[in-house]
Amino acid sequence: MNNTPNKLYAILLLAIGLFNECSVAADNQQCTQQQNKEASEPASTDSIQKKPFRNFTINPDGDKILTRFVNNDTNWVRPYDTDYARWLLDRKLFPIDHKVKYYNGEEKQNNGGRNKIISVGVLKYDLVGTFSKNKERPADLQQCADACIRLWAEYLWEHKMYDKIHFKNAPGFVFYYKKWAEGYRVHFDKNWKASWSKDAGVDYSYTTFRKYLSLVFTYCGTATLAKEMMTVKSTDIQPGDILIWGGSPGHAVTVMDVLRNKQTGKLKVMFSQSYMPAQEIEILANNEDNYRWTEKYTKGMWFSPWFEIDEEKSPVINTPQWTFDLSDGAKFVRWRDK
């Protein structure tokens, strides 16, 4: 038998093996030389990825507005320290992953707005319904203007400032809470003219307060608030003010917090809203703010709740579900008893 082909095949395999070992050795030597070179040279600033300092952050564990939405920039300060401003900052929030619920218990999709997401937080308030035989039932009542009324009225009731709790309907009839708590009830004639009559005993309980709110939510809205409240300049916004377009339909959102830049005087504000159908009160996301809040996307925390207000630069304020144009009927308003 001739063994020549086998010998030639073995020699070929040996040559290939020696070549591969030399190639690996050469690559290792080149890699080592490159590493030594990089170690000896100063690092380029472009190649260093520093962890960014975020002036505004979201703390997922914060259970109220003040501790959830954190300002780390000393150039941005809260210019107002009113009791109502502090009360708003102290409002409790549902956990970060809570989804807004409608009055019927269904969940609202957080990507239903024109842009990316609608809200970055939800206030821990239930919804006011209708009453029948002293039993409250869910109802499509607490919509946009009603959420603004709810916050102001809750603040006043909690502080026992009952005289300041009053709201007007379209014809101008005033629903006074104190009169309601004293046992008077509102009746309408066949022409819908309202009047008071003494029908119940004195009761300042929270249940009776909710019954009063149910009445107000039924007969008051954006059109009535726009007439009842006083207009303020966009450069003088305070927490508790309302951005409103008083049409039919109209929309209204509450200013929950205000920051002013000490150097430029520019303003950032945080808004809350309810919407249609009636829903829990949510903190609105600014989808035009490209500032990334976290290292990676976590439960909507890429989105900022801060809206820059600069009417000279642009009178348009785009919120996720409504565009307010300050040059075309939209305005900031304030409660007259504030």
| Secondary structure E strands in the chain | 56-58, 69-71, 76-77, 119-122, 130-132, 135-137, 166-168, 174-176, 184-188, 194-198, 230-232, 242-245, 251-261, 267-273, 282-284, 306-309, 316-319, 322-325, 331-334
Residue whose tokens read 């600033």: 45
pTM for this predicted structure:
0.81
Per-residue pLDDT of the chain (338 residues; tens, 9 = 90+): 444 444 444 444 444 444 444 343 444 444 444 444 444 444 433 333 444 445 778 888 999 999 999 988 899 999 999 999 999 999 999 999 999 999 999 999 987 545 478 999 999 999 999 998 889 999 999 999 999 999 999 999 999 999 999 999 999 999 999 999 999 999 999 999 999 999 999 999 999 999 999 999 999 999 999 999 999 999 999 999 999 999 888 999 999 999 999 999 999 999 999 999 999 999 999 988 755 554 444 444 567 899 999 999 999 999 999 999 999 999 999 999 86
Residue 80's CB is within 10 A of a number of other CB atoms, namely: 16
Give the pLDDT confidence score for residue 111 in this predicted structure.
Answer: 75
